[in-house]
Chains A and B, each alone.
Chain A
């Protein structure tokens, strides 16, 4: 069965610093890959997705992610973090049945 691992439960960065959130997946083929953001008590907002093609994907709010097949990774990056980026971030995969398998999430805290 497919699985998604987000190794970092909690990350704290300073405002203006760069950010990288890690995501690794376990699946025989290349799944569809997603990053979502969730603010407290809210639903999920899609940041970006990868289906095929260019392995560097641009998303909303200045986020990007890079798919690396050799490492089974899909890490999320942002060059300069804003205080409003503080939230929970989930990596997810779709292995073709259209339902999503989520990672355990990474909570991002932004220091002024």
Chain B
């Protein structure tokens, strides 16, 4: 149990376009979802925390207008990278947790490449 999926697993886009990444909890209700970013050979950095039905809470230094997060249901959160630039190229990983869970479960990640 406690499976989290992400789609797409890999995306390449042109500079200036927007990209949407989906994070789904497949077998539990995700009251809270987290979005992390991982640069090559580096650790994961928390970008934002989203609670279902509420606005996301962004970490310091993360532009909320650039990284739009929506958590409209208990099984789906989306991260939209708006007006993407090459420096946004990274590995984006979501995780989710629920009321009956004592830890968070991670998705497989999405590799974004902006040309």
Contacts and interface: CB of A to CB of B under 8 A. Distances in A.
B103 A103 contact: no
B97 interface: yes
A46 B103 contact: yes
B109 A99 contact: no
A87 B105 CA distance: 19
Contacts, number: 51
How big is the B interface, by class?
20 to 34
A49 B103 contact: yes
A98 B98 CA distance: 11
B109 A102 contact: no
Given A51-B102, A98-B32, A99-B49, A43 B107 contact: yes
Contact of B43 (A34, A41, A98, A105): A105
Contacts of B104: 98, 100
Interface residues of A, number: 22
B106 A103 contact: no
Interface of B: 6, 32, 34, 42-46, 49, 91, 93, 95, 97, 102-109, 111
